[in-house]
């Protein structure tokens, strides 16, 4: 397993795809920081470290879409290029293939998230005025990240399963988006039209829980619920994906 992970990491990090995508995301962050700095320089006293850094908790839901890119970076059209078929033909265990790519996708996602958070929060700290509420802002950001992390992992596991089970990366990506973002809307509608139990189920969808974190600040029991729900989603998606991949005919 260790050699397989090393090979997957080597293949992933030597591709330009990862660095181009990361550079684009970091560039967009610099644009956002630049706009905030211009607003401050034009005399707006409301632009401070706290007012800019507090955007992070309200943008965490976008992180659920990140596995669509990081998963694509690692999976890299393996059906199209027959590399997945070759790995299976050479006798690499399917569980090793599946879990190895899942682990590397998680590594890529975490590294990208650290780079983006580091740039944005570091820029906020260096560019904008500070006040007594800075400590509270750091605490809120930390609280929301603590709750969002397992939900991101859940989304990553769902998307990884889609890439393995669907031959088209494009269709796999749309399916992942549908599961992570649209199913909750369907449950909301069913809750209104059929039975409130669907609304209860909806509250445990990763996107709903991520969006709720900022509005439930410092309720650490909710962070615990996020971890429980995220790990259940992660385990279920991984088990379903791995079981189906083991039975799937690779053409």
Look-up of token digits 């070759």: 86
pLDDT at 43 (0 to 100): 79
**Backbone angles phi and psi of 97, in degrees to 5:** -60, -50
Residue 126's domain spans which residues? 2-247
Residue 196: other Cβ atoms inside 10 A: 10
Cα Rg of the chain (Å, integer): 20
Predicted TM-score (pTM) of the model is: 0.89
Each residue's pLDDT expressed in tens, for the chain with a length of 251 residues: 777 788 778 888 888 888 999 999 999 999 999 999 998 888 788 889 999 999 998 888 888 888 888 888 887 767 666 777 777 777 788 888 899 989 999 999 999 999 999 999 999 999 999 988 899 999 999 999 999 999 999 999 999 999 888 888 888 888 888 888 888 889 889 999 998 899 999 999 999 999 888 888 788 999 999 999 999 999 999 999 999 988 877 76
Domain count, the chain: 1
**Which two structure tokens, joined as six digits, stand for 219?**
């309720």
């Amino acid at each position: 397993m260790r050699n397989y992970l090393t090979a997957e990491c080597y293949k992933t990090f030597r591709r330009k795809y990862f660095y181009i995508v990361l550079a684009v995301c970091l560039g967009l962050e610099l644009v956002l920081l630049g706009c905030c700095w211009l607003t401050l320089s034009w005399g707006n006293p409301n632009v401070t470290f706290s007012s800019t850094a507090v955007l992070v908790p309200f943008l965490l839901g976008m992180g659920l879409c990140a596995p669509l890119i990081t998963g694509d970076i690692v999976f890299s059209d393996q059906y199209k290029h027959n590399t997945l078929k070759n790995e299976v033909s050479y006798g690499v265990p399917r569980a090793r293939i599946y879990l190895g790519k899942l682990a590397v996708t998680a590594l890529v996602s975490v590294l990208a998230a650290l780079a983006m958070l580091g740039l944005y929060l570091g820029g906020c700290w260096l560019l904008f005025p500070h006040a007594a509420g800075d400590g509270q802002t750091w605490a809120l950001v930390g609280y929301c990240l603590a709750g969002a992390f397992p939900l991101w992992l859940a989304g990553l596991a769902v998307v990884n399963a889609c890439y393995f089970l669907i031959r088209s990366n494009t269709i796999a990506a749309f399916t992942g988006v549908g599961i992570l973002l649209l199913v909750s809307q369907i449950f909301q509608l069913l809750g209104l039209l059929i039975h409130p139990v669907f609304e209860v189920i909806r509250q445990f969808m990763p996107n709903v829980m991520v969006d709720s974190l900022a509005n439930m600040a410092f309720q650490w029991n909710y962070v615990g619920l996020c971890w429980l729900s995220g790990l259940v989603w992660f385990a279920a998606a991984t088990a379903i994906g791995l079981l189906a991949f083991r039975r799937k005919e690779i053409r």
